Chains A and B, each alone.
Chain A
């Protein structure tokens, strides 16, 4: 669990810091650590925010308040001695560490090759129908079998399907997610097992799916993931033993290595699709119009992606003419597997990384500006030394030595902080970022941090270092006013303009993401999301073999839950909006007597629901009625449809009482429409409603269901009672997960939230940095121009006017930087268009707000220097 990981991280980092700071007395160190851990644990029970603030308080206490004899003294000595150098190194080190931390993510998720042999040859295979705008559909079993037999582009193709299952041990059932995979799975990935072996061809023959109610012909065998193996006790002798999954015993034949995690499965079981699709329910054998598999192939050696794409296209056209009913309009699309895995979070990660990089540049610019100012201030020292005979080269060498020292300090700080922060970032990163388990502080990340640290130190110090040798002696010696100040001033003004521009871009980005997130939270998903408890249950297939048993089981679960305190109503459905389990599939439909000829059939998502589902979900029934207990297995077949489907089938006409033909299970068969419900955004706020058909669960009993309970109080508060009530129906069937609809909704937008929070953080950081830059430049200018200002005041300029001229200067910088920034943001935001929701990339409100915030901050930053200018005493200043 994330919360526990965060707690562990807090405790560990506190202990590490304590160790680093070496509190003299080891007993005292021990006592401080123990008490700190106790405080963290106490804070942990009150939520992550309290935990974070407690951690901060503890660190503050450790570094600055307590243990003052050892720590603070050392720190103070360190800070005082080389002063600015260490401060600057610290600042740069922080920036580099933050960038390197994000690089660790970008590297693991986007850059590093997949941990399989020749990963470039792995591609993901989709069915795609351009006219229906369905580009990535998991292929249908019938088509996959033909591809395997007929293709000449792949060494191997495999289909897999994730399943929720129950693992049974001494301490009851544990829910796990596994996958069943077709022949060729391990040929595609080509990864040697950690223990034992993988499946041989014979073991795939006749293997039923894990959740199937029928038994396999051979002995069931299973390959475990490294993680599940460790959970089971990491027994090196596990191969040959049996584990109980879904009420059956499976013989373990192998364990895969830790980084082998296709489908994020805990185990893999062989699957012969032909076994699952035979018998009277499937008169045409393997279905070609039920698209749900995950298919991966290994290209033949030397085969290019384009070549394979062309060959598969030809194959698809052949299947299209053989099976026009199901395959018309459907082609095959191939994508590199690595890209597909990273697809869901690529843009977010790149955006966050780019934003961090911008912030680092800002810090760099400020450091450079500071270095230039120091260079000017030291011009006199340099000039004197030059005049006394030091060579220009020697001065440059001395500055380079300072630079190297600062680079070393920066690098060390950066590497230490990166190692620390990657752990912290992992504990708060959204779990749906793919390949998260591969994120680590490795040689690549450390090298990146080191190179970047050297680079930023060099950039920050380059100008003054190479100028030092060319200090004009005469000018610099005159009254301490360096001639080079003018040129340096222009360079620094240029840097500040660049800083402002970058800050504006960050601000616009943050503004757009904040508005996006606000829109996402505001979007009406179509039903009531509050006060809904969600229990996901997947009963053992071997235990509930018949439909009647399943119906009876859920009847008991729902009855028992209804008796739980504070529960107002309960119901169950196969595919709940935003829930990640349950069968979610689409089937063709048409209004009775109106089968469209010559064009592909429309498809609707099919869901099985128990009576009271719509009332419990808060999805309004617009016409007709809900399902009732009378819609049982013996009653006439009925369906409820959503508005979208009603409109597409009958236009404005009344659908109630009409028949809908659904090509499902028994082939095309009429169902009477008894109700119409409102459209819902099934896949979260970003998704559009799709046509949906609801079937009474009693008329088509599915095993895996999402049970929902509408509660009178906060659903989290009654979760455990509800779980206990659900268990009464059958103590051996665990509740796989217990969550709330609000949590599911939060999960659906967690990546959006993550990106928004980080970018906003960077924008604030950028704004502060830019403000610091403006302030430093103006403050320095005021000091430099003291005589000029004094002269103007002596000649009659009012203090007010002097102050105004300083503020105007800052506004000129802001105008220049703002214009460049807005142009950059407008150009850049187009790339991030797909991340946005309900807001245009060039949203005027955001642009205006960003500029307004920027002007405010810049004027505020110039206020102090302006005041100082206005307070200059002409007489005093002229005398110096």
Chain B
């Protein structure tokens, strides 16, 4: 089964919350609370993930193999050993790349449109 790479297209576009979760674990494993904080910080509090919704999504993402529970942990002293860390799987990384490229294309298109160009300069 590992031989044939799965297509990522059916998974796109990603729901905004899913995109944010994948982005937050892109640079390394994180635990749930830190995902919540990172997303809230990055979006200035515009996107807020609450625990039950977050863990529901994490479970779904784990089931479709975009993320995986990670054994890698930060230094032991700042860690609670019951905490679960989540990391991006290779598939997750590809899905994220594809989604970012898709969004990039949309943004580039918007930039080249005449009506919007002014707004970008302003």
Which A residues are closer than 8 A to B by beta carbons?
A: 23, 25, 27-28, 30-36, 38-39, 57-58, 60-62, 65-69
Nearest 10 A/B pairs, CB to CB: A66-B52, A61-B50, A66-B53, A66-B56, A32-B51, A35-B51, A62-B52, A65-B53, A35-B33, A67-B52
Known: A31-B84, A57-B50, A69-B56. 14 other contacts (CB 8 A): A28-B59, A30-B82, A32-B55, A39-B50, A58-B50, A58-B51, A61-B51, A61-B52, A62-B50, A62-B51, A62-B52, A66-B50, A66-B52, A67-B55
Is B36 at the interface (CB under 8 A from chain A)? yes
Give the bracket for the number of chain B residues in contact with chain A.
Answer: 10 to 19
Could you list 12 examples of A-B contacts with CB < 8 Å? Answer: A27-B82, A27-B84, A28-B55, A31-B83, A31-B84, A32-B51, A35-B32, A38-B33, A39-B51, A61-B50, A61-B51, A66-B50
Collect the chain A residues with CB atoms within 8 Å of residue B55's CB.
Answer: 28, 31-32, 66-67
Taking a contact as CB atoms under 8 Å apart, the answer to whether B32 and A61 are in contact is: no
Is B54 at the interface (CB under 8 A from chain A)? yes
Taking a contact as CB atoms under 8 Å apart, the answer to whether A31 and B51 are in contact is: yes
How many Å lie between the Cα of A799 and that of B59 in the bound state? 55
Q: With a 10 A CB-CB cut-off, give which of B32, B36, B48, B57 has the most chain A CB atoms.
A: B32
Interface residues of B in 44-83 (CB under 8 A from A): 48, 50-57, 59, 82-83
Taking a contact as CB atoms under 8 Å apart, the answer to whether B84 and A32 are in contact is: no
How many Å lie between the Cα of A36 and that of B52 in the bound state? 9
Q: Is the interface of A mostly helix, strand, loop or mixed?
A: helix
How many Å lie between the Cα of A811 and that of B53 in the bound state? 46
Taking a contact as CB atoms under 8 Å apart, the answer to whether B56 and A67 are in contact is: yes
Tell me the smallest distance from the CB of B59 to a CB of chain A, in Å: 7
Q: Mark B68-105, 1 if CB is under 8 A from A, else 0.
A: 00000000000000111000000000000000000000
Collect the chain A residues with CB atoms within 8 Å of residue B32's CB.
Answer: 31, 35
Residue of B nearest to A60 (CB): B50
How many Å lie between the Cα of A28 and that of B59 in the bound state? 9
Taking a contact as CB atoms under 8 Å apart, the answer to whether A66 and B84 are in contact is: no
Collect the chain B residues with CB atoms within 8 Å of residue A61's CB.
Answer: 50-53
How many Å lie between the Cα of A35 and that of B56 in the bound state? 14
Q: How many contacting A-B pairs (Cβ < 8 A)?
A: 57
Q: With a 10 A CB-CB cut-off, give which of B52, B53, B54, B84 has the most chain A CB atoms.
A: B52
Tell me the smallest distance from the CB of A37 to a CB of chain B, in Å: 9
Collect the chain B residues with CB atoms within 8 Å of residue A57's CB.
Answer: 48, 50
Residue of A nearest to B58 (CB): A28
Tell me the smallest distance from the CB of B61 to a CB of chain A, in Å: 13
Tell me the smallest distance from the CB of A692 to a CB of chain B, in Å: 53
Tell me the smallest distance from the CB of A30 to a CB of chain B, in Å: 7
How many Å lie between the Cα of A61 and that of B53 in the bound state? 6
How many Å lie between the Cα of A60 and that of B36 in the bound state? 17
Residue of B nearest to A34 (CB): B33
Tell me the smallest distance from the CB of A623 to a CB of chain B, in Å: 58
Tell me the smallest distance from the CB of B103 to a CB of chain A, in Å: 25
Residue of B nearest to A61 (CB): B50
Residue of B nearest to A33 (CB): B51
Q: Mark B19-59, 1 if CB is under 8 A from A, else 0.
A: 00000000000001100100000000000101111111101
Name the contact of B56 in the complex, choosing from A38, A39, A68 (C-beta under 8 A). A68
Residue of A nearest to B33 (CB): A35
How many Å lie between the Cα of A58 and that of B48 in the bound state? 11
How many Å lie between the Cα of A27 and that of B83 in the bound state? 9
Taking a contact as CB atoms under 8 Å apart, the answer to whether B33 and A32 are in contact is: no
Collect the chain B residues with CB atoms within 8 Å of residue A32's CB.
Answer: 51-52, 55
Tell me the smallest distance from the CB of A14 to a CB of chain B, in Å: 9
Collect the chain B residues with CB atoms within 8 Å of residue A62's CB.
Answer: 50-52
How many Å lie between the Cα of A772 and that of B119 in the bound state? 48
Collect the chain B residues with CB atoms within 8 Å of residue A33's CB.
Answer: 51
Residue of A nearest to B84 (CB): A31
Tell me the smallest distance from the CB of A706 to a CB of chain B, in Å: 43
Taking a contact as CB atoms under 8 Å apart, the answer to whether A36 and B53 are in contact is: no
Collect the chain A residues with CB atoms within 8 Å of residue B53's CB.
Answer: 61, 65-66
Residue of B nearest to A24 (CB): B59
Residue of B nearest to A42 (CB): B37
Tell me the smallest distance from the CB of A211 to a CB of chain B, in Å: 50
Tell me the smallest distance from the CB of A309 to a CB of chain B, in Å: 63
Taking a contact as CB atoms under 8 Å apart, the answer to whether B51 and A66 are in contact is: yes
